[in-house]
Structure 1
Amino acid sequence: MSNEQPKFQSTSLSGAIFHDVNLRSSSFGDVALADAAFSNVSFKGAKFVNVDFSNVEISDANLAGMTINGILVTDLLYRQAP
């Protein structure tokens, strides 16, 4: 396996299926991922900047330590719980 860091730039990966894929240290710049599916993929330590997460669905996910605009997601979910 290569030690190179995968880089995707100015491309469309719309509809792609990522399953059991190691994306560690990958770089995505100006990439379309509409309707892409990710399963059993780690985004640990990932940073998302200037992204469109509209209509994104997240389920069965470990959200420990995840922040949105500096606010812990687990705190947001706790506040919204009935």
Structure 2
Amino acid sequence: MPIDLASGACRADNVCLAGSTCTHSSLEGAKFHDVNLRGAEFVDVALTGARLSNLCLGDVTIADANYAGMRIEGILVTELLRVYRRQSAAPDAEPPGAA
């Protein structure tokens, strides 16, 4: 059942929104605390300037993304990918996970 909400802030505490769909929506400046997003799908989403902490990213897949300025543990992701690709292309490089 679609629910039309007036533009502006709303608060949802202790609710189950499993299976919900947000289309052409803005959550700019929203805060999420103690939220379960297991199995969620994000397509064509802008996370520029977002801060993520205390996350479980097990089995997360990121594809077709712009990583400019993105950091993991303070390290630029573009630098991590550059080094990984260079080492993977080396003829004597060990396959990822080998050691």
The two structures share one fold, judged by TM-score above 0.5? yes
2:42 maps to which of 32, 38, 42: 38
Matched pairs, number:
81
Q: Say if 1:66 and 1:72, in contact at 8 Å, map to a contact too.
A: yes
- Looking at structure 2, the residues matched to 12 and 79 of structure 1 have their Cα atoms a distance apart, in angstroms, of 42
Partner of 2:33, secondary structure, is strand
From the two aligned structures, give the one with the greater strand fraction.
1
Taking only the aligned residue pairs, the percentage that are identical comes to 37
Structure 2, unaligned runs of 5 or more = 1-5, 90-99
Q: Larger relative contact order (C-alpha < 8 A, sep ≥ 6)?
A: 1
Alignment of 1:1-82 (within 5 A): 2-4=7-9, 17-18=21-22, 20-81=24-85, 82=89
Question: TM-score with structure 1 length normalisation?
Answer: 0.79
CA shift at 1:21, angstroms?
3.7
The superposition leaves residues 18-74 of structure 1 with CA deviations (integer Å, 9 ceiling, x where unpaired) of 554422111110000000000011001000010011110000101100001110000
Question: TM-score with structure 2 length normalisation?
Answer: 0.67
CA shift at 1:2, angstroms?
2.0
- CA RMSD for the aligned pairs? 2.3
Q: Say if 1:19 and 1:41, in contact at 8 Å, map to a contact too.
A: no
